[in-house]
């Protein structure tokens, strides 16, 4: 990036009850090598009931409040409040590298580039749930054309030109929680054939996965709810009927049986815990996604 190309950039960080991670996130943002006078940090609080607000106010960052539930509404508030020509997004459970913003902004030296996405790496896992999510590459599916949600943007490590939002709109607040709103935005972005996205692996973000099985289960339920909203919004892209739903539920007992069998073996033999956790969290993910999907689908019918 040339020293003459330093557009004003807004960094938008949505947060909800993030007292355990927001401090480290903000500390990393303040260590970036991008000139402080050429950027702003906007932390959008989505109704936290812990010490998140007090922590944010102890840092040189702007605290913005958004009462509407969901990451989509929080990001939209940040977009509406921002002053930047470039809008960069990360999450409260992420830590950015020193050159993160500089590497993202560098891509916009090409006037044809509408967005730049970086590389997201899992924090060193300290629990079975974190290890499972890290091995699965939860933030890498948008790189695989075989994945049924391909392509979408990774909102914990991406930047857009401000005019992109004027053109394709904001994040869809019909997604009430984090899950699906990034896929929807990505599909709308890539539908515009002249909008280009650059992937820069030097723009690195370290992301914390859910630490406990319950936290992972709740996250996957939100993804399931988001998937149901996506299916209703894009029936031509995500065709799904009762037969597919039945088959999705039918495989769950097999995973439960296999996980139970692996649990018995792991209790008898050393070194078998890995097999158990792989089956257990696979079952947990599939069950949570299906449960969230059906829950949201039934909600939609009642509305």
Tell me if 133 sits within 8 A of 122, measured CB to CB. yes
- Please tell me the predicted confidence (pLDDT) of residue 198: 96
Question: pLDDT tens for residues 223-244?
Answer: 888 888 888 888 877 766 555 6
Neighbouring CB atoms inside 10 A of 4's CB total 6
Question: Strands 9-15, 86-89: parallel, antiparallel or unpaired by DSSP?
Answer: parallel
- Whether the predicted pLDDT of 98 surpasses 70: yes
pLDDT beyond 60 at 252? no
Band of the pLDDT at 123, cuts 50, 70, 90?
confident
H or E element that contains 105 = helix 100-106
Percent helix / strand / coil, the chain, rounded to 5: 50, 15, 35
pLDDT tens by residue, 141-160: 445 544 556 677 899 999 99
* Structure confidence at residue 17 (pLDDT): 95
Pairing of β 196-207 and β 94-96: antiparallel
User: Confidence class of residue 300 from pLDDT cuts 50, 70 and 90?
Assistant: low
pLDDT score at 291: 82
Say which CATH architecture domain 9-207 belongs to: Alpha-Beta Complex (3.90)
Within the chain, strands assigned E span 9-15, 39-45, 62-65, 86-89, 94-96, 113-122, 158-161, 196-207
d(CA 141, CA 163): 27
Q: Which of 18-27, 42-51, 217-226 has the lowest mean pLDDT?
A: 217-226
Q: In this structure, is the dihedral angle defined by the CA atoms of residues 210, 213, 219 and 224, taken in order, positive or negative?
A: positive
Kindly state the tokens that stand for 124. Answer: 């060193």
Q: Where are the domains positioned within the chain?
A: 9-207, 216-302
Buried b (16+ CB within 10 A) or exposed e, 201-230: eebbbbbbbbbebeebbebbbbbbbbbbbb
Coil, helix or strand at residue 202: strand
Of 88, 99, 81, the C-alpha closest to 161 is 88
Does 167 have pLDDT greater than 50?
A: yes
Q: CB–CB of 198/117 below 8 Å? A: yes
Helical segments of 204-272, H only: 213-233, 242-250, 252-268
Report the C-alpha gap between 122 and 4 in whole angstroms: 34
Maximum distance among all Cα pairs of the chain, rounded to whole angstroms: 65
């Amino acid at each position: 990036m040339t020293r003459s190309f330093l557009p004003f950039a807004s960094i938008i960080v949505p947060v909800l009850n993030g007292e355990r991670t927001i401090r480290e996130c903000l500390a990393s943002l303040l260590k970036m090598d991008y000139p402080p006078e050429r950027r702003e940090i906007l932390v959008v609080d989505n109704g936290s009931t812990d010490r998140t607000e007090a922590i944010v106010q102890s840092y040189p960052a702007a605290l913005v409040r958004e009462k509407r539930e969901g990451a989509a509404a929080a990001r939209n508030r940040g977009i509406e409040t921002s002053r930047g020509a470039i809008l960069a997004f990360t999450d409260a459970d992420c830590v950015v590298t020193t050159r993160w913003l500089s590497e993202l902004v560098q891509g916009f030296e090409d006037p044809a580039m509408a967005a730049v996405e970086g590389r997201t790496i899992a924090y060193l896992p300290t629990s079975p749930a974190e290890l499972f999510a890290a091995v699965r590459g939860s933030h890498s599916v948008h790189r695989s054309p075989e994945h049924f949600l391909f392509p979408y943007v990774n909102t914990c490590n991406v930047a857009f030109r401000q005019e992109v939002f004027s053109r394709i709109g904001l994040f869809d607040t019909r997604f009430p929680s984090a899950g699906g709103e990034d896929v929807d935005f990505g599909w709308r972005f890539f539908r515009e054939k002249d909008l280009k996205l650059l992937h820069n692996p030097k723009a690195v973000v370290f992301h914390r996965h859910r630490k406990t099985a319950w936290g992972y289960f709740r996250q996957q339920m939100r993804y399931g709810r988001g998937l149901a909203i996506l299916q209703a919004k894009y029936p031509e892209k995500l065709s799904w009927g009762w037969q597919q739903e039945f088959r999705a539920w039918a495989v769950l007992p097999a995973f439960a049986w296999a996980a139970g069998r692996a649990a018995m073996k792991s209790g008898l033999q050393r070194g078998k815990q890995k097999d158990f956790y792989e089956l257990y969290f696979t079952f947990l993910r599939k069950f949570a996604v299906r449960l969230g999907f059906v829950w949201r689908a039934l909600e939609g019918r009642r509305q």
